[in-house]
Structure 1
Amino acid sequence: MVKLLEPELAPILNGSVSSEEAIEASRQHLEQDNPNPRWCIPWAYVLWQQGDYSGAYALAARYHTLLQDDGDFLLLFGMIARQVSKRRDEAEAAFQAAIRLQPDRHDAYYNLGNLYFAEERFEEAAREYRRSLDRYPDGSLSWLNLGLAARALDQLELSRSALQRCLQLDPRSIRAWCNYGITCHQLERFDQAIEAYYQALSLDQDHGPSLVNLAQSLNASNRHPEAVGYLQAASSLTLQEDCGDALFNLALTRLLLGEYELGWELYECRFKTRQHDSYTRVPKGEWIQSPERLRQLAADQAEILVWSEQGLGDAIQFGRYLHLLQAMGLRPVLATRPVLVRLFQEWLQPSVPVIDDNHVDITTEMRPHTAMLSLPHLFGTTRHTVPASMPCLHPPGPPPETLLVPPPPGGLAIGLVWASNPDNKMMYRRKSLPLPELLESLLPALREDLLELHCLQVGEDADALQPYADHPNIVDWNGRLGDFADTAHVVRQLDLVISVDTGVAHLAGSLGVQTWLMLHYDADFRWMRNCETSPWYPGMRLFRQKAYGDWSTIVQPLMDELGRIYGLDLLALQ
């Protein structure tokens, strides 16, 4: 709030008097004959500070008509209305009215920016923060929130510079140090991120978000034992809501290190984290969460529902546990994504009933149930007991004519996938390979009929193939594959699949087709670290980036390995 015009009101807003005294002074003035309606401001302001937003709104609304030309009131009314359900339009109108009255009022632009930010209207929020800073360049909170909005817009360099300016103005801002670290991490400047988190922790050693994010950057820097220590510290802060993800990140780190028994147990906390808050498909029936309860149900040969809660590749990878459930005497029913239904219906042998998870009425579904990625915990899976007998998917019969792969003219028929799911922006950027970086190296072998390339990429990323579309030894399957069952028919006819970390890699591995997996530097926990093979897919070869974003450190050894098959230096072909 800015300084009020009446000198006698200033002590109420600058903290010189207590909240009780402020409210009493306001009450006395407003009960006089012909009171100055501006005396509602300190009373409403105190209620707003105390979090009594409905009370503050009820009070301020009584004087709204009388104070339509008062910038102080309009600003406060907007701040209050923003916190009250279904009043955001009134809040926006109040901020805009305050700006019309006083166009140089930086705090009105700042609060309007906060309103837009809360609604994830990040471009509009950034615009208002800039307007606020044009009028008051030393507004550290405006720089901070501009940094957050810019990061949400994937404008990472702007985010970094805005947060740097905030820290110049307020070097003791823990929130700014932590968010500066997050932005540096996303820019893959991990040393700077780590230093930023150290700065935040020097101001508050128990700052949960900094502990968790520091561990993330240490993991990204291949410093996993250090990460474990910080995650253990964060997970002990049970009273801090911001540490809800600490145990989950500790679970991922344990799994990354191959400590499966403890890792899978900790991984069960994922449903208590923010990133799983949006998952609302949990059925109403009994949730099986212990190995003991699973064994009790097996003794009764019970029917249980297994549901997919994560990505397509996860469902394919962990679908192998359905047969273990059958072996126990249970009768599993799988609820999964529509694009996977036919794959599991037709390719799992022995068969398991499969339903589209959109058809599960969670309000009436009373069968005992569990999440698919909870099965490793329920079975006590260790690195040495991973169910890895491949293939675990089997064709229901010969492929349809439209999905036949003719024998290649010369050497190998190779499948290729170069991009992951674009819905996860950050992981998409890290996991996805720019197609020319690999394809240009393969072109000489293609010209010599040494291989035929079957491009299995679907969606917009398949457009990257256009410059090569006329090559006689390149087959584009985009638009011809209806679901993963169709893709399975094609993949099973190939000699080799080369893929980034996405669902097709899991499909190829589950079909027992030789698979070369191209992993970004900070790869998913299931691929562990510093190994070239996977306990989940014995026929899979892992090729890892040696540095963040450097796909050349994968392309060179991959081409060398491919050349060994032919006894040729493929990169030397012209």
Structure 2
Amino acid sequence: MNPDHDAYQQAASHYSNARYDDALIALAPMLARTPAHVEALDLAAVCCYQLNRMEEAEACWRRAIAEHPHEAGPYNNLGNALNASGRLDEAKTAYGEAIARRPDFTEAQYNLANVLHALGHRDEAERSFRRALQLNPRLADAHYNLARLLADNGRAAEAQAAYRDALIARPGYAEAHNNLGNLLKDAGRLDEAVGELRAAVADRPDWPDAHFNLGNALRAQDRLADAERAYRDALALRPSFGDALINLGSVLTTLGRFDEAEAAYRRAIAANPDRAEAHCNLGRVIHEQAALGRWARLPEAERAYRDALSRDPGLAAALNNLGNLIGEDGARAEQAEALYRAALRADPEFGAAKQNLAATLLRAGKLSEGWQWYESRFDDDTSARPLDPSVFGCPQWRGEALAGKSLVVVAEQGFGDSIQFCRYLPMLASRGASALTVVCPPALVSLLASVDGLTRCVPFDAAATLPPHEFWCFVMSLPARFETTLDSIPSATPYVHAQAARIGYWGNRLPARRFKVGVVWSGEPRPWVADSFGAFSRRWLDARLCAPLLDTPGVAFVSLHKGATARAQLAALPERLRPLDPMDEVADFADTAAIVASLDLVISVDTSVAHLAGALGKPVWVLLHSNADWRWLDARDDSPWYPTARLFRQASPGDWTEVIARVADELRATLRFP
């Protein structure tokens, strides 16, 4: 019978039952001898470690090393202790000694790799991970940590492969599914990402981070209802999960459920009052509500933005959004400009701030600088371009000499934008362009073809069939190319023309011998474009608010609307107030131009028909909300772009009633004093 064997077995039994002090008592006789048995020293060290007696644990391992210098195990275990206490350089040395004594010591190779990674020695760490995996290809954690290292080093494709190897070695490895899913999401492989993240959730349904990451991938797919459920699952597991609350709030904001979004952001702030992003997003959702009619909440939104900036003065989103809010008040335009500039100092690539600064400068009449910033409009989202200009196989025109050169001009954004800026086309022709082509939406082809100097005008789907050109340019870049200032705006009208045959046709269909007024009270909703801060809807009003205007005696009103929304509003008017509606037969803007040419006046909100009337040189009264688009400038009732235009602005945000009353009075006065 071997007393040491019995004592060691007894100590091991105590250790297995977490009776570490009893294990040390059993080991004491063995430790009293020199040299002590290496297993006894190792077990004693582990017991001391479990009892948080770190100095004694380290002493035991160092004694084992001194008394058994050829044994690799004590070096590895000492390295683990040093690693756990943050003494990484010493741990690195200990693991290296273990490997020197046993080159095939897989655990030591793996541990060394982890320490090297923690020390930032990425190349050495990678080599150690790969050595460990050569020794044991089934070491799932080594594949996993190698993948993390590769991802940290920007080698995403290799990291994906390493995570897949980890999953082969250990099916159901939730962390590997999760991290692989995140990499796939970042790579834009969203279907695969969702699959991996659903696997992570299935493997660890109680892991809130996996639900959160699944929500992010679903959100990237624009599957907002599914993303909402994933975020709520994460929050059910961790109610104070700030990132999940913030992202849930963002999804709810996009869905237009502003009250619920606001509640989510307030929960995020309650969980972490110093989280600047939560305050910023709270300000935004309140601001969104204000812009859609709850104007009294603007000061509350401003406080939230300022709360964000008090916590993070360089938070670009808060600076930009506060600029948007302050810009609601034309008297504070200079403050808004300063905020956008501050946002761009914080984040020079912040596309929204660039465009907001551009709009603020242009609205203030600072056109030269404004056009320069406006050129960034596609920086953040090239998909917003009407087509990929590479189809033309030629460089963008930036003001080079055009004599003998051909140029294709690409329409962009809304119909009204193209109508407003096609005024520059004759100026291009006057520079000696040998051929001048316009590419535009089909509805504009016949109208824009009437502009002087054009060689051809074709729809977007014909762009790829055009003959070669020397240059191309977006139509809204033309003011910058011509260095347009307030004094040099090409304002001569008409610059588009209605066709005589169409004028004759439509003129015969309109009432005779009465003052004829075309009306437009609304645009058509664009479901594919976010209506952030009421960018579109606040420009429009309900037809029923126009009743005092439509009740003007002696006027034949003509609706210039196309679209289901406007038609529904028209039908809701009392029959005696309904304008004549000829638009069922209108094929394109050339037809609308012929109708407008047959009218005495157009009264329109800020939509394409207002630009069409102005471009035709027809008298047009434009109804503008309080924070009107930049092209109408600040605090003016006329327009340097359209000499025949009069502008009627809201006196207070959202108040169309006063505007309509003023326009109705002006119309009656016009009829009395033609």
TM-score with structure 2 length normalisation?
0.73
Give the Cα separation in 1 of the matches to 2:81 and 2:418.
62
Matched AA of 1:268: E
Pairing 1:334–2:438 present: yes
The answer as to whether partners of 2:208 and 2:238 remain within 8 angstroms in 1 is: yes
The answer as to whether partners of 2:626 and 2:649 remain within 8 angstroms in 1 is: yes
Aligned partner of 1:179 in structure 2 is 281
User: Following superposition of structure 1 onto structure 2, how do residues 358-507 of structure 1 map, counting pairs within 5 Å?
Assistant: 358-361=461-464, 365-399=468-502, 403-406=506-509, 408=511, 411-423=514-526, 424-426=529-531, 427-438=535-546, 440-445=547-552, 450-461=554-565, 462-468=567-573, 470-471=575-576, 474-507=579-612
Aligned partner of 2:238 in structure 1 is 136
Per-residue CA deviation, residues 199-229 of structure 1 (Å, 9 max, x unaligned), is 3333343333333333222212321111222
Give the Cα separation in 2 of the matches to 1:13 and 1:266.
53
What is the aligned counterpart of 1:226 among 335, 345, 356? Answer: 335
The answer as to whether partners of 1:349 and 1:394 remain within 8 angstroms in 2 is: no
| Matched position secondary structure for 1:485 | helix
Shift of 1:15: 9.5
Aligned partner of 1:57 in structure 2 is 160
The answer as to whether partners of 2:523 and 2:540 remain within 8 angstroms in 1 is: yes
Structure 1 window deviating more from structure 2 (189-198 vs 496-505): it is: 189-198
- In 2 relative to 1, CA 15–141 (structure 1 residues): closer, same or farther, beyond 3 Å? farther
The answer as to whether partners of 1:212 and 1:243 remain within 8 angstroms in 2 is: no
The answer as to whether partners of 2:368 and 2:485 remain within 8 angstroms in 1 is: yes
The answer as to whether partners of 1:430 and 1:549 remain within 8 angstroms in 2 is: yes
- In 2 relative to 1, CA 306–31 (structure 1 residues): closer, same or farther, beyond 3 Å? closer
| Matched position secondary structure for 1:393 | coil
| Matched position secondary structure for 1:380 | coil
Give the Cα separation in 2 of the matches to 1:342 and 1:26.
67
Pairing 1:261–2:368 present: yes
Give the Cα separation in 1 of the matches to 2:202 and 2:343.
46
Matched AA of 1:320: R
Give the Cα separation in 1 of the matches to 2:87 and 2:213.
25
TM-score with structure 1 length normalisation?
0.85
Shift of 1:410: 6.9
Shift of 1:485: 0.2
The answer as to whether partners of 2:181 and 2:194 remain within 8 angstroms in 1 is: yes
Matched AA of 2:321: N
What is the aligned counterpart of 1:344 among 431, 445, 448? Answer: 448
The answer as to whether partners of 1:178 and 1:209 remain within 8 angstroms in 2 is: yes
What is the aligned counterpart of 1:216 among 304, 324, 331? Answer: 324
Give the Cα separation in 1 of the matches to 2:260 and 2:83.
38
The answer as to whether partners of 2:147 and 2:163 remain within 8 angstroms in 1 is: yes
Structure 1 window deviating more from structure 2 (47-56 vs 478-487): it is: 47-56
Shift of 1:526: 0.4
Matched AA of 1:553: E
Aligned partner of 1:4 in structure 2 is none
Shift of 1:519: 1.1
Pairing 1:287–2:400 present: no
Aligned partner of 1:324 in structure 2 is 427
Aligned partner of 1:126 in structure 2 is 228
Shift of 1:487: 0.4
Give the Cα separation in 1 of the matches to 2:469 and 2:510.
50
Shift of 1:116: 0.3
Q: CA RMSD in A?
A: 3.3
Structure 1 window deviating more from structure 2 (513-522 vs 358-367): it is: 358-367
Give the Cα separation in 2 of the matches to 1:195 and 1:169.
19
What is the aligned counterpart of 1:20 among 112, 116, 131? Answer: 116
Structure 1 window deviating more from structure 2 (22-31 vs 547-556): it is: 22-31
Shift of 1:125: 0.7
Aligned partner of 2:380 in structure 1 is 274
Aligned partner of 1:571 in structure 2 is none
- In 2 relative to 1, CA 351–34 (structure 1 residues): closer, same or farther, beyond 3 Å? closer
Structure 1 window deviating more from structure 2 (97-106 vs 16-25): it is: 16-25
- In 2 relative to 1, CA 197–289 (structure 1 residues): closer, same or farther, beyond 3 Å? farther
What is the aligned counterpart of 2:413 among 307, 310, 321? Answer: 310
Shift of 1:173: 2.6
| Matched position secondary structure for 1:319 | helix
Structure 1 window deviating more from structure 2 (305-314 vs 484-493): it is: 305-314
Give the Cα separation in 1 of the matches to 2:223 and 2:81.
35
What is the aligned counterpart of 1:250 among 353, 357, 360? Answer: 357
Per-residue CA deviation, residues 166-219 of structure 1 (Å, 9 max, x unaligned), is 122223333333333333332234433433333333334333333333322221
Point out the structure with the larger helix share. Answer: 2
Structure showing greater Rg? 2
Shift of 1:489: 0.6
Aligned partner of 2:73 in structure 1 is none
Shift of 1:539: 1.3
Aligned length: 547
- In 2 relative to 1, CA 12–251 (structure 1 residues): closer, same or farther, beyond 3 Å? farther
| Matched position secondary structure for 2:419 | helix
| Matched position secondary structure for 2:590 | helix
- In 2 relative to 1, CA 380–29 (structure 1 residues): closer, same or farther, beyond 3 Å? closer
The answer as to whether partners of 1:416 and 1:499 remain within 8 angstroms in 2 is: yes
Give the Cα separation in 2 of the matches to 1:247 and 1:317.
22
Give the Cα separation in 2 of the matches to 1:10 and 1:395.
86
The answer as to whether partners of 1:67 and 1:74 remain within 8 angstroms in 2 is: no
Pairing 1:105–2:214 present: no
Aligned partner of 1:528 in structure 2 is 633
Shift of 1:400: 6.1
Give the Cα separation in 1 of the matches to 2:559 and 2:240.
53
Gaps of 5+ in 1: 1-6, 569-574
Give the Cα separation in 2 of the matches to 1:246 and 1:218.
14
Give the Cα separation in 2 of the matches to 1:321 and 1:309.
14
Matched AA of 1:110: F
- In 2 relative to 1, CA 387–13 (structure 1 residues): closer, same or farther, beyond 3 Å? farther
Pairing 1:96–2:198 present: yes
Structure 1 window deviating more from structure 2 (47-56 vs 253-262): it is: 47-56
Give the Cα separation in 1 of the matches to 2:81 and 2:263.
36
Matched AA of 1:142: A
Shift of 1:142: 0.6
